[in-house]
Amino acid sequence: MPASYKNLLAQLSPSHTGYQLNRPAANRQKFEELVEWIDAHLDQPITLNDLLQQSGLSMYELTTQFMLNTKLLPLQFIKTLRKYKADLEQVNQPTIDNTYALFDPRDTSL
């Protein structure tokens, strides 16, 4: 799992003490794998049925894992993750300084 997503999960964690997933271990493993799957498919529509099918968890187990680990419902988590990823991409985009945008290289009066 990419470090940036671990950081986001840590921020969303109810304990705010770091990236800790709750027991049982089998559900924790499924949750981690599901978060990686979500990350790989963020550019596609993801439904609750997709999450249930991919994780193999019941609706109760899925919702419980997300609430325990993120304080968000599964689809809320996906929306938050998409926004987080978009914000990261926006920060990494180069910006054009307005001074250079207004400069006309053909102007020789300077």
Q: What is the pLDDT of residues 64-79, one digit of tens each?
A: 999 988 899 999 999 9
Q: Which domain holds residue 44?
A: 22-85
Backbone dihedral region of 21: left (phi > 0), alpha (psi from -120 to 50 degrees) or beta? Answer: beta
- The answer to whether residue 106 sits within a structural domain is no
- The answer to whether residue 8 sits within a structural domain is no
Domain count, the chain: 1
pLDDT in tens, 1-38: 556 666 666 666 555 444 344 456 788 888 989 999 99
Q: Rounded CA gap, 82 and 79, in Å?
A: 5
| Paired tokens of 5 | 């997503």
